[in-house]
A and B are shown apart, each in its own frame.
Chain A
Amino acid sequence: MQLSTWQQLTLVTATLAGVSSTQAAEWEHDAATLYYGESDGRVQVGSLKYLGKRENDQGDKLSINAGVDALTGASPMGVAPSYNAQTLTSPSGNTINIPAGQLPVDDHFKDARLSAAVQWDKGINEQWRHSSGVTFSKEHDYLHTGVNSTVSRSLNNKNTTLSAGLDLAHDQVQAINGKPTPLSLAGSTRAGDDSKRSTEALLGLTQVLSKRAIAQLNYSYSQTSGYLNDPYKYFSVVTPAGIVTENRYESRPDVRKGHTLYGALKFKANDKTVSTSSLRWHKDDWGTNSLTAEQSIRFDLGNQRSIEPSIRYYQQKAADFYKPQVSSIDSIPAYISADYRLARFKAYTVGATYRWQDRKEREWRISGEYYQQKPVNTELTAGQAGLKANSGFDAAVVSLGVKF
Chain B
Amino acid sequence: MLIRVGLAFALTLSMSSCAQPQVKPWERGVLAEPAMTFGHDALKDSIADHVYFAKEATSGGRSLTGGGGCGCN
Contact = CB atoms under 8 A, between A and B. Distances in A.
Interface of A: 16-18, 30-32, 34, 36, 43, 47, 49-51, 63, 65, 71, 73, 75, 109, 111, 113, 115, 117, 133, 135, 137, 139, 141-142, 144, 146, 148, 150, 156-160, 165-167, 169, 171, 173, 198, 200, 202-203, 205-212, 214-220, 222, 230-232, 258-262, 264, 266, 268, 274, 278, 280, 282-283, 286, 288, 290, 292, 298, 306, 314, 316, 319, 341-342, 347, 353, 365, 367, 371, 373, 395, 397, 399, 401
Given A156-B16, A165-B64, A222-B65, 6 more contacts: A135-B67, A200-B65, A207-B16, A290-B57, A341-B57, A347-B56
Contacts of B36: 214, 266, 268, 274
Contacts of A347: 55-56
Contacts of A200: 60, 64-65
Contact of A292 (B24, B32, B43, B58): B58
Interface residues of B, number: 50
B32 A159 contact: no
A232 B64 contact: no
Q: A150, A208, A222: which has the most chain B beta carbons within 10 Å?
A: A208
Contacts of A365: 44
A401 B41 CA distance: 10
Interface string B26-66: 01111111111110001110110001100111101111111
- What is the predominant secondary structure among interface residues of chain B facing chain A? loop
A75 B73 contact: yes
Contacts of B31: 208, 211-212, 214
Contact of B55 (A148, A150, A373): A373
A111 B12 CA distance: 44
Nearest to B24: A157
B66 A142 contact: no
Contacts of A157: 22, 24-25
